[in-house]
Each structure stands twice: as C-alpha cells, then as structure tokens.
Amino acid sequence: MTADPPWALLAELTHRCPLRCGYCSNPVELAGRSAELTADEWAGVFRQAADLGVVQTHLSGGEPLLRRELPDIVAAAERSGLYTQLVTSGVGLGERRLGELVEAGLHSVQLSVQHADSDTSDRIAGARSFAAKERAARLIRAAGLPFGLNIVLHRANIDALDDLIALGAAWGADRVELAHTQFQGWALRNRATLLPTRDQVDRARTTLTRWRERPDPVPELIWVTPDYIDGVAKPCMGGWGALSLTVAPDGTVLPCPAAAALPGLDPPNVRDRQLSWIWRESRAFNAYRGDSWMRGPCRSCALAATDHGGCRCQAYALTGDATRTDPACRLSPDHALVRDLVDSARPPAGNPVHPYREGAP
C-alpha cells in the first residue's frame, strides 16, 4: 500500500547506559559500541529523513550523552532542518556539555527520573544518579530549553505519583509524561515484579485528576494508558509504519523500537538501503501497515481505525503470533492472558527483587 511520509525519527544513538533499570524496554541483546553508526553516518540518516518528510528527531539510547561526538550529531540534525530533542538520564549532562549541545542547535530535553526519593530513585535505576538528574534539571531550565520529565510507572513507584508530580513542578518541567511500563525487551523478563495492581492504578488516576484540577499552574500532565489494566489496546506508534521510524544504534531501521523481536521481518539497515526505499518498499514496514493483515475481531471492529489492532510486538510476546489481536484489548480472544496477569499482581512488599539491566558491550 502507498505510505504517507513519516514525520518523526527515533534515533537510538547507542545502547550503552550508565543506569541498569529493571524496566528497560530495549532489546535483551544490545548493540555494542563497535557496531554503532558514526557521526557521519547519522548525518546521512538525518538528510535522508528530512528528504522523506521527517520534521523532528528524538536523540535517544541507551544514554546518548555517552556519544562523545554528540554535538556533531546534533549539528547534523540541525543542518537538515530537524527539530531535536535529547532523551537522557541526565547522567553526564554538565554545564559545558549542555552549552555545546545548545550551540549545536539542540531544541529541547526530556529527562527521566525513577522516584521522588533520591535513595529509592537510585535503587530503581541500579546506580547513583538522582543528584545528577537534579543538577541536569537546573541546567536545562537555566539554558531556557523546553523541558519534559519522563517517569516510567511500575509497582515500585506508582504509589509515589503525588510526590513525583510535585518533583516535576519543583524542577520546573513544562510537562510530565507518566508512562506505564512497556513490557518489551528486558522489562518483559521482570513483568512479575513490575506490574502494578488495579488498586494502585486507580489511586494513581485519582492523584492525577486532583493535580489536573488545581487552580495554580502545574506542568502539563501526560498519562500514557496502562493497557494491561484498562483492557484497551493502545494505537502503538500511531499505526505500524504510519507516522515514525526508528533507527537502532547499528543502523537497523524499524517501525518501532521493539520490532526487531518479531520473526520474519528481515529489517533493513541504512548502511545497505536508502530510508526512502525502507519506508516505502521494505517488508519490515509493510508487514502490518494498514488493515489487510488483520484477523477477527479487529477486521470488523470500529476501533481498528484508531487502535490499529494494538501492539504487534505485544501480541507476539504474549501469544507467539504477531497477527493476533493485542491481548491487552478486552475484545481479544486472548485477553485472559493479560487479565490473569493483572489479577495475580500483588501490592509491593519491601524492595522488589529483579535482575538489573546489563550494559551493552
């Protein structure tokens, strides 16, 4: 089918990261430093992306600050006319480093935090990092950059939502994104200790509503639906191969960051193919584009126009078949798989024990 141009590019500059979060949704097998695209190769990616129609790029990882040539990468995106957002843990973002990035053309920053309590945040991250995040927030605000705070919610921090939103306001965030854990990659291995209970999510919604109803200015609050609990499939990536593309650290191009786990896609690489061909012609981007691949109940469901059948990677992770209706949807014949997981979730009892993320080679 004919594809409209994409407008967003997720540029995963590296899988290396100073943190070891148990909820990391990056692949279990990480790309090593030796496989990473060079700064010149990223410049070529940005030129091709702009020619294709992309207008903004999220510079992510891993931790993009571990790329020493990051200012050159930002400058290359700026020369191609792309709006750039740095997605970072804040570890390694000092005044000089940020100044170099701003001079190169950086437009905005999204900073992650794991908890409002410094010790708990460090424990969840698997590394001492809260102080660096707090300092990074001050520097970002002083530089006058638009600033978003990203919080991945799970069993160990969702009950601290009130304090987390207050932290975002105190740090001067323009928006706070409350993103429930995506059970892909490493996070899927730790789902049993990460999945919150229904009661926890209900309390969090009440907290969110209270903050949104406050008369005084607060950050914009973005609530990413907890699809396991709501029984509603999310329109993952706005539809497969519909709005955006992801370039992994080694140049593999994917419709979404988790798609490499799906069998039979044969995802192409920017070292071998042009982005325009990849977007329009490759099997990877056409496999689940549109609705011709859908089975029942999606095929005859009015929701398919907005949820696009849900997440293909989640369908595969839970059923072994990427063409099945996302089991998060209450209309899915496999919804019991998700419902049973949620029903078996228990409130947190002490510090959760799960394997920390191991770093990329």
Instruction: Tell me: cis bond preceding 297? Omega within 30 of 0 counts.
Output: yes
Most distant CA pair in the chain: distance in Å? Answer: 56
Q: Is residue 298 part of an annotated ligand binding site?
A: no
d(CA 185, CA 25): 5
Residues 6+ apart with CB under 8 A from 194: 22, 23, 154, 155, 156, 181, 183, 187, 352, 354
Say if residues 292 and 274 touch (Cβ distance below 8 Å).
no
d(CA 359, CA 356): 9
Say if residues 322 and 262 touch (Cβ distance below 8 Å).
yes
From the list 50, 55, 60, the residue with the least C-alpha distance to 89 is 60
Q: Which residue has the tokens 């990677």?
A: 313
DSSP string, 41-101: HHHHHHHHHHHHT--EEEEESS-GGG-TTHHHHHHHHHHTT-EEEEEE--TT--HHHHHHH
Q: Is residue 21 part of an annotated ligand binding site?
A: yes
Q: What is the CA radius of gyration of the chain?
A: 20
d(CA 324, CA 311): 10
Instruction: Determine how many CB atoms are found less than 10 A away from the CB of residue 117.
Output: 16
Say if residues 266 and 283 touch (Cβ distance below 8 Å).
yes
Q: Is residue 256 part of an annotated ligand binding site?
A: no
Q: Which amino acids are annotated as binding site for [4Fe-4S] cluster, given as ranges?
A: 17, 21, 24
Q: Which amino acids are annotated as binding site, given as ranges?
A: 17, 21, 24
